Structure 1
Amino acid sequence: MNFVASGLKPNIYALVGLLTLYLGGIGSVFAQEDYTWWNNKHNWDGTTHWQRYLIVSPNFFGPNALPVPEIHQGTLPSAASFTASINQHFGRGNSTTNPFFSFQTPLYSKKVGLEISMVPIEYFKMDTITRDERRVRDRDGKGWTAGDVHISTQIKLLDANDRRPDISLLIHLKTASGGGLGAARYTDTPGYHFAFSVGKTSNPVSKSLQSYRWYSIVGFMAYQTYRTDYRQNDALIYGVGNQIQTKSLNLQTELGGYFGYINNGDRPLLLRIKLEGKLGNWKKVFFQFQQGLHDFPYSSITIGRKIATPSPFKSN
């Protein structure tokens, strides 16, 4: 191919190739090992593929595999922003550390928004009890792996007024870019969900309290499994939250989860508390605590920062 004639440079293809290789799971390559121990431990029948022994649900996978969706507030981002955070997840016999990146922007219009997020890499470590409970084939139960890329579009349906709340529709895709299937870190399958979110703000109640906002979501989620009887798991998404805004701080408290059809640890419920404010010259620094209450055996701490960025899409 004539790169000059096409207007493309060869290094673009190299970068695309490297990115594709990475997202394809380069971080999840495990050394070859003898799986006799796994065959004996789980009474392998000699014919069934090992993937079918995995229990594909948030209770038996890593904390980033099948996360509870974010509880949106019925609004769209008014400007582009980039969020970077570091997450530490603690669980029964399981520890996970990972960075998280997200880019949000209006998409040519104030009525449509785009978000791309990812866990570029994670380090995990689990004890032998957890390893065997999850039927994983990674014998030492620790290592590094790449995470999933998530892409979502948010559409504003109605603006709030005195009589009604903000209403928006979210359409979300989970890619199959994550690795570590043999260690039950990511499912290596796509998934999607869509949800309606509503929210309403009350104007200042006092001098110190600028605003109070309640919000909720309801929707549908689907993701693939490796079972022969249930190729796909369907789930109902739900969640409620409130936000208290002062001059210097933003406090959000949320309760949400989803209710899976199979009932194999697929009904996670969790509590999120997020505090955002200013730290020195840094604006929009946040701290979040997340506690699994059911079918999500993790307590998570997140520290991050949200930064305003130029948008590649011109809004009307």
Structure 2
Amino acid sequence: MKKKLLLLFLVLFKINYAQSLIYHTTNYFGPNANPVPEFSDASIPKYTEFSTAADYYYGYGDQTISNISKLEIPLIAEKVSVKAWAVVLEHFSVSDQVLSRRQMQKNEGFATGDLYIQLRIKLLSEDKLRPAIILNSTLKTASGSEFKNRRFFNTAGYYFDIEIGKSIKISNFFIDEMRVVSNLGFFSWDIQTPNLNVQDDAILYGEKLILKHKNISLENTFSGYNGWVNRVEDYGNRPIVFASKLNLHRRKAVWFAQYQHGIRHFPYKQIRVGIQFSLQKLTPDFLENNLDKNNSLLFYF
């Protein structure tokens, strides 16, 4: 009798424990909660850049319309910059099945997103033989809202990654230039369990191919990350996405449109349209004197 009671207690404990767990993954939250980090063309701008875009995520019982805005300020032109971005506002609408699966409180509503802050440093400048190398250090804050509706995590995270880019000039062809960029890094975020906080650590990776012709460029990106936590079969902390982005450069602005498809553990398709501005007047120049003749950084103590 005691063994049966003990077995029953263990079963009930396991059921209650499983129900109390919240899976901090892309399979159980909105598309903006912990997406695959984007990476650049392995360059730092000369002037301050501001971009804003409208996103439409759809499919798999979750429709999300959101705005994402980014600001990158070069502290030293083309050498060091600070970048910040956030989902300013999103509207979500989910099916009853998704609501039950994620343990949400309502099918529809609004949310604001997490703020990301990134420091970017150029480690190596590109020339005829060597590639450009950029080191990024990024903090993901826990500033998003609507955790109870599984839109954003209530925990923070961070990642470090390196971008390596090399351009190849092409003559006598429709394509003027081809650029290949590789990205590799470490991504970590907190996941909550009853009475215990654990970090989910992941390897971050990506490949980008950019084709340029005059004022038009096409970016094709394959990227993802692999986390170590795996509680259930569809836990979902190993997302992979493919994105194709068309850029139209017009004077000091870049118009762009992108389609992104979730290949694994990212149950969304995305359409993005937006614009990026170059803001020369808002570019600081107080560190210009910290460059030596070889364009290397000099630090004084």
Q: CA deviation at 1:283?
A: 3.8
Q: CA deviation at 1:207?
A: 5.0
Please give the alpha-carbon distance, in whole angstroms, between the structure 1 residues aligned to 2:77 and 2:254: 24
Please give the alpha-carbon distance, in whole angstroms, between the structure 1 residues aligned to 2:63 and 2:163: 32
Please give the alpha-carbon distance, in whole angstroms, between the structure 1 residues aligned to 2:193 and 2:157: 15
Would you say 1:258 and 2:229 are equivalent positions?
A: no
Would you say 1:311 and 2:279 are equivalent positions?
A: no
Q: Partner residue of 2:159?
A: 193
Q: Partner residue of 1:7?
A: none
Q: Partner residue of 2:46?
A: 78
Q: C-alpha offsets along residues 69-96 of structure 1, whole Å, 9 cap, x if unaligned? A: 1123322122111101110001311000
Q: Partner residue of 1:161?
A: 127
Q: Partner residue of 1:10?
A: none
Match of 2:177, as an amino acid? S
Q: CA deviation at 1:282?
A: 8.5
Among 220, 226, 243, the residue aligned to 1:272: 243
Counterpart contact for 1:72–1:216, Cα < 8 Å:
no
Q: CA deviation at 1:128?
A: 1.0
Q: CA deviation at 1:62?
A: 0.5
Please give the alpha-carbon distance, in whole angstroms, between the structure 2 residues aligned to 1:276 and 1:83: 13
Would you say 1:174 and 2:140 are equivalent positions?
A: yes
Match of 1:254, as an amino acid? T
- Which structure 2 residue ranges, 5 or more long, are not aligned? 1-11, 289-301
Please give the alpha-carbon distance, in whole angstroms, between the structure 2 residues aligned to 1:266 and 1:96: 20
Would you say 1:285 and 2:255 are equivalent positions?
A: yes
Match of 1:159, as an amino acid? S
The root-mean-square deviation of aligned C-alpha atoms, in Å, is: 2.3
Q: Partner residue of 1:296?
A: 266
Counterpart contact for 2:45–2:77, Cα < 8 Å:
no
- Structure 1 residues 109 and 90, CA, compared in 2 at 3 Å: closer, same or farther? same
Report the number of matched residues: 270
Q: CA deviation at 1:44?
A: 10
Q: Share of identical aligned residues, percent?
A: 29
- Structure 1 residues 292 and 234, CA, compared in 2 at 3 Å: closer, same or farther? same
Counterpart contact for 1:71–1:240, Cα < 8 Å:
no
- Structure 1 residues 302 and 262, CA, compared in 2 at 3 Å: closer, same or farther? same
Q: Partner residue of 2:9?
A: none
Equivalent runs, 1:21-170 vs 2, <5 Å: 52-136=20-104, 138=105, 140-170=106-136
Q: Partner residue of 2:150?
A: 184
Give secondary structure in 2 for the equivalent of 1:119: strand
Counterpart contact for 2:253–2:278, Cα < 8 Å:
no
Counterpart contact for 1:71–1:256, Cα < 8 Å:
no
Match of 1:99, as an amino acid? N
Q: CA deviation at 1:49?
A: 11
Please give the alpha-carbon distance, in whole angstroms, between the structure 1 residues aligned to 2:13 and 2:71: 44
- The 10-residue stretch of structure 1 (103-112 or 190-199) with the greater mean CA deviation from structure 2: 103-112
- The 10-residue stretch of structure 1 (152-161 or 228-237) with the greater mean CA deviation from structure 2: 228-237
Q: C-alpha offsets along residues 179-216 of structure 1, whole Å, 9 cap, x if unaligned? A: 11111100021110000110000113335322110011
- The 10-residue stretch of structure 1 (106-115 or 117-126) with the greater mean CA deviation from structure 2: 106-115
- TM-score, L = length of structure 2: 0.84
- Structure 1 residues 90 and 213, CA, compared in 2 at 3 Å: closer, same or farther? same
